[in-house]
Amino acid sequence: MASFDHEMLCPCKSNKAYKACCQPLHDGHLLAHSAEQLMCSRYSAFVLKNTTYLIATLHPDKREVDDETVLKQTMAQTQWLGLKIIAHTPTGKVASVEFSAFFQGKSEIEQLHEKSHFINENDHWFYVDGEILPTIKLSRNDLCFCGSGKKVKKCHIS
Ligand SMILES: [Zn+2]
Ligand SMILES: [Zn+2]
């Protein structure tokens, strides 16, 4: 796990301190109360290179023996910049969350736009799988995905 100042803002861009946001979930002190919260905590686990949490919150049927290796490779190659939750569709014990996660590509900023599927079993939310969707167009006047509070055009995309 990467070293991280716990007073700093949570990587999930909630604008809360890490210790008041995703840390209790990462440490196992709290369970995610919604698929959206699990989604955010999995994103911040990616940023913090917490493979243990990512595997623990992946549905047991979906786990593969090489999960940890694959995750570590992805983490080493990806510099995440921010997260935008687009839609959250809870339907009881199954839910979906649509999001775009932004990362630094070779020359420009790239985006993972995904609709993720979650299931709740015995009060635990698990990530099941996701559909990759076409990238969304950002309005240059939107607030930037990185959480700076500035407009996109004045921040990450000029
Ligand atoms: Zn968080
Ligand atoms: Zn930005």
- Each residue's pLDDT, cut to its tens digit, for the chain (158 residues) gives 455 566 789 999 998 999 999 999 999 999 999 999 999 999 999 999 999 999 999 999 999 999 999 999 999 999 999 999 999 987 789 999 999 999 998 888 999 999 999 999 999 999 999 999 999 998 899 999 998 899 999 999 87
Ligand nearest to the CA of 44: 1
| Rounded distance from Cα 156 to ligand 2 centre (Å) | 4
Residue 45: its pLDDT value, please? 98
Model confidence, pTM: 0.92
Q: What is the pLDDT of residue 4?
A: 58
Residue 15 Cα to ligand 1 middle (Å): 8
In sequence order, the 6+-apart residues with CB closer than 8 A to the CB of 118 are 35, 38, 39, 94, 95, 96, 97, 125, 126, 127, 128
Q: Is 151 helix (H, G, I), strand (E, B) or coil?
A: strand
Identify the pLDDT of residue 7: 73
Distance 46 CA to ligand 1 centre (A): 11
Domain 18-154, classified CATH 3.10.450.50, yes or no: yes
- State in Å: Cα 23 to ligand 1 middle: 7
| Six-digit token string for 156 | 């990450």
Q: How do 124-132 and 109-121 pair as beta strands?
A: antiparallel
**Ligand 1 ion: Cβ-proximal residues, 5 Å cutoff:** 10, 12, 14, 21-22, 44
The domains of the chain are located at 18-154
Specify the pLDDT at position 90.
Answer: 79
Judge residue 109's burial from the number of C-beta atoms within 10 Å of its C-beta, 0-12 exposed, 13-18 middle, 19 or more buried: middle
Cα of 127 vs centre of ligand 2, distance in Å, is 27
**Does residue 47 sit in helix, strand or coil?**
helix
CA of residue 18 to ligand 1 center, whole Å: 6
